Amino acid sequence: MAATGVTKVDRSLAMVTEALGAWDWLVIAPVALPLLGAAALLLIRKRIAWHAPASIAIMLLMLAADVGLLIRVWNEGPVHMAMGSWLPPFGIIFAVDTLGAVFATITAFIGLVCAVYATAEIDTTEYRYGYFTFYLLMLAGVTGAFLTGDVFNLYVWFEVLLISSFGLLALGSNPIQLDGTFKYAILNLVATTLFLITVGLIYGIAGTLNMADLAIKARSGDLGAPVMSFGVLLTFAFLMKAAAFPLNAWLPASYHVTRSASSALFAALLTKVGVYALLRTLVLVFPELGETFAPVLLIVANSTMIAGALGLLASNDIRRMVGWAVISGIGVILVGLGLGEAAALSGAIAYAIHSMVVMAGLYLLAGAMSWLAGTDSLFKMGGLAVHSPALLLCGLGIVLATAGLPPFSGLWPKAILVEAALSKAAYVTVGIILVNGLLTTIALGRMFAFGFWRAAQMERSELAPFPLLSKSRIVPVATIAIVSLAGGLYPEPWLAASRQAAAGLLDAATYINAVLPEG
C-alpha cells in the first residue's frame, strides 16, 4: 500500500462521533444482558443449581434497565443508538419510544414472574437441555423486536424469538409436544417468510429499511410503487403472528403442549409482538396503509372476538381454553387499530398491556389448577377450593380481570375502546365487545365453578391426597392478580403511559426528528 493517494475522510458524515454516556447504553442493555446470560448459562449448563438464580438475576437487571429506559423516554422523547456507530439510515439503529419502552418493561416483568413459576415445574433434564438458555434468548428476541428501529432488524428478532420458542415448545420431546411444535413451527415460518419477502419488496421500492426514513418516504408519497401489495403481505404476516381470526388455528393447537410457565410466556409476549409490529408499521411508518386497512382490521377484530369467545365456551381442556382467551384479547386490541385514532389506539395499547399481564396469569392459573387436580379436563376437575383457598382467591381475581369486570384492570381499556367505537358510530363493534365480555365471563365462570366450587369428581384414595401448592407456584399467580387489581383501582399511570405511547405513534415527526435530525 503506497502512501500516495490517501485522502482525508470526514468520519462524521458516516458515523456517530459524539461521545455516548453510560446512560445511552440503556437502549441496548435489555437485549445485550439476556444474550450474555444465555451464553453464560449454556457454558455452565451442567451446574443446574445456578440456572434459575442466574437467570432471575439477569431478568431483574433487564427490568431495571427497561424502567430506566422508560423514565428516560418519558422525559426526553424517543432515544436511539446506532449499532457500530454507523449513522442511520444506513446503519442499523435501536430507536425507543414510549410504546417500545412500555412493552419491553412488561416483557421483563412477565419473564421474571414466569421464571419463578418455572422453577417449580421443570425437571433436571429440561435444565440440562438449556430451558433457561432458550428462555433468555426468547426474552432477548422479544425485547429486541420492541426496541429496534429497523424493519430488517425486526425480522431478525422475530427469528430469534421464534427459534427459541421452538426450543421451549419441543423441550421434553413427548409426542404431543412434537405434534404441537410442528404445527406452530410451520405456520409461524410461513408468516415469517411472508414478512421476509415483504422486507425485500420494501427495500426494493424504498431503498431503505430504517423505520424513520421509511416514514419520511411514505409521507412524501414518492414511493410510487405498489405500496398496497406489500401492505397486504405485511398485514397478513403480522395478523398471523398475532393469531387473529382466521389465522388463529396454530395457537390453541400448540400452546398447551409445553410447561405452563412457557405457555404463559408465549401467551403474554408472542402474539403481542405481532400486534406491536402492526401498530408500528400501520400507524407510524405507513399511515396511509393503516387508513386503507382500517375497515378490514375492524372486521378481523370483530370476527376474532367472536371466534375467541366461542372457542372459549366450547373447550373443556382448561389449558386449551386459555389459548382461546388469548385470541379473544387480540380481537379487542385490533379494535383499536381498526378505529385508528388517538383515543382508540391508546385503548388498544392499554388493553395490550393488560392482556400481557393477565394472559400470563391465566395460563399460570390453569397450570396450577391442572397440576393440583392432576388433569386438564374440566369434567374431571373439582374440589380445588377446599385444597387451596389462596389459589381460589387469586383465580377469582384473574378470571374477573380477563372478563373485564371491575375492580380489575380489564375494565378501563375496554371502556375506552367502547367509547371510541361509539364516537365513530361503530355500533356492531360495541355490541361485539360487550357480548365478548359476557361470553368470556360465562366461559371462565364455568371453569371457575367446575374447578373450584363443585365437589371433587375423581376418586382419590386417602393415600394420595392433593399435593400442596408450593410458594413458587402460588406467588407468581398472586403477583399477577395483585398487579391487575392495583391497575384496576389506580389506572391513571398505565393509562397515561398508553396515551403517551399512542400519541408517540401518531406524532411521526418527533420520532423522525429524534432519529434523523437533518430530516
Q: Under the rule (CB under 8 A), what is the footprint of other proteins?
A: 16, 19-22, 24-25, 28, 32, 35-36, 38-43, 45, 81-85, 94, 130
Distances (CA, A) of 451 to 233, 380, 387, 408, 469: 43, 9, 11, 21, 15
Q: How far is the CB of 28 from other proteins (least distance, A)?
A: 4
Q: How far is the CB of 236 from other proteins (least distance, A)?
A: 32
Pull the grid cell for residue 153.
432488524
Q: How far is the CB of 338 from other proteins (least distance, A)?
A: 37
| CA geometry: angle 297, 301, 302, nearest 5 deg | 120
Residue whose CB is less far from other proteins, 160 or 330: 160
Residue whose CB is less far from other proteins, 81 or 333: 81
C-beta of residue 145 within 8 angstroms of C-beta of residue 94: no
Distances (CA, A) of 119 to 52, 59, 391, 427, 475: 7, 14, 18, 46, 12
Residue whose CB is less far from other proteins, 42 or 306: 42
Residue whose CB is less far from other proteins, 11 or 471: 11
Name the 3-class secondary structure at 286: coil
Q: How far is the CB of 147 from other proteins (least distance, A)?
A: 11
304 contact partners, CB below 8 Å, separation of at least 6 = 244, 245, 248, 327, 328, 330, 331, 334
Residue whose CB is less far from other proteins, 94 or 293: 94
Name the 3-class secondary structure at 81: strand
Q: How far is the CB of 161 from other proteins (least distance, A)?
A: 16
CA 511 – CA 519 distance, rounded (Å): 11
Using CB atoms within 10 A of its CB, is residue 216 exposed (0-12), middle (13-18) or buried (19+)?
A: buried
Strand partners, 86: 15
C-beta of residue 361 within 8 angstroms of C-beta of residue 481: yes
Q: How far is the CB of 425 from other proteins (least distance, A)?
A: 48
As a whole number of Å, the CA-based R_g of the chain is: 23
Residue whose CB is less far from other proteins, 25 or 379: 25
Residue whose CB is less far from other proteins, 2 or 22: 22
Q: Taking the CA of residue 271 as centre, how many other CA atoms within 13 Å lie in the half-sphere pointing to its CB?
A: 36
Q: How far is the CB of 353 from other proteins (least distance, A)?
A: 27
Residue whose CB is less far from other proteins, 181 or 441: 181
C-beta of residue 488 within 8 angstroms of C-beta of residue 401: yes
Q: How far is the CB of 62 from other proteins (least distance, A)?
A: 14
CA neighbor of 185 nearest in space, from 199, 155, 156, 164: 164
| CA geometry: angle 117, 441, 358, nearest 5 deg | 30
Residue whose CB is less far from other proteins, 40 or 405: 40
Q: How far is the CB of 273 from other proteins (least distance, A)?
A: 21
